[in-house]
Amino acid sequence: MIPFELTKELVDQILYGMENQDHEYCLDVRSAQVVRCDQCPDPDDPESCIAIPDWRPVDGFNVMESFLTSLRNPVYRENLRAILASGHKVFRRFKDTVRENREIERQWFAHKERRMQAVVYDWYNQLREVWGLDPVVPDYPDTEDLVLFDFSLRQLNCAEEPELTEELSDFDQGSFFEGHRELPEAVVERLYERYRTGLPDIDEPESVVLVVETPSEELAGFLWAIEEVLADASRMSTLAQIYVLPEYRGLGIARTVLPRYLQQANARGVVTVVAELQAEARNFAGYLEAEGFRPAAAAYSLNLRRWWEENLPE
């Protein structure tokens, strides 16, 4: 068998042949081209055409399952998991669901291509072993940060967009309730009222709001900060909210919008930035610390009735 080089173009041809279920494809070794097996130029020579790697429906299903383990978006992860478990039109419904979100779709194609390329390189290295050659190490593109290519970020003008401003206020309150779901509703209402008391509203001059939007100009998330001048004439900022809609979580929006805001705040002369993380929002602490934030305070809650029941003397 004549050794051949596995170029990017040849890999693409092999991937196409693997996925095509209408015909069987082989590699014409002499021309290093993928052809239909029934169109091999020299069918009598078994070494002139070799079969490309098999790719069965079960292999495609396994790739879809493996994709869920790497998908950080909880909404799409659970929707796709339900589709795979249903056993009904799995491939079509999976593709249709992924196509709803361009970033999820981009991650899916990158994951799928990488898994299929791994099969191709394993097949190729088995051939190289027969040829007495060392295996080659695939040079995969970095697909870990395929986020925000299509999203846009802008500063909100509250006076010109009152409806969006009101929507963001609702999301802010909803986020607070979401983060305190373990507490009674009346307690959360009081905590939210106390937390927001004394802070300017989202449409007041001290507020700076960065909005993240999809290519179709739909809201994906936002950052709300309050910038104030202190008694010593220095400027400080309070991060009142960083919120990402559930269907866009896990795409890196929050950890991307934060540095953008910090750059802009620095240009405006802000010296100190304070972020108060409420309840489940403390999961964002790692992002803050990566930017240089340091812990300054902590809050705890206790269900006194439960404590009393658990500590009653026997």
CATH class of 152-304: alpha beta
- Per-domain boundaries in the chain: 8-51, 57-131, 152-304
- 3-state SS assignment for residue 71: coil
What is the pLDDT at residue 59?
Answer: 92
In degrees and rounded to multiples of 5, residue 35 shows phi and psi of -135, 165
* E-assigned strand segments in the chain: 25-28, 33-36, 49-51, 152-155, 207-213, 219-229, 235-244, 270-275
- 3-state SS assignment for residue 207: strand
Average pLDDT by stretches of 10, the chain with 314 residues: 84 92 87 88 76 92 89 83 92 92 84 91 91 82 49 89 93 85 86 83 93 85 92 90 84 83 91 78 72 76 78 72
What is the pLDDT at residue 141?
Answer: 55
Tell me the pLDDT tens digit for each residue of 228-252.
998 988 899 988 888 988 878 777 7
Whether the model clears a pTM of 0.85, i.e. scores above it, the answer is no
| Vertex 222: Cα angle to 219 and 225 (nearest 5) | 155
What is the pLDDT at residue 145?
Answer: 45
Burial of 145 (0-12, 13-18, 19+ CB in 10 A): exposed
What is the pLDDT at residue 144?
Answer: 43
What is the pLDDT at residue 156?
Answer: 93
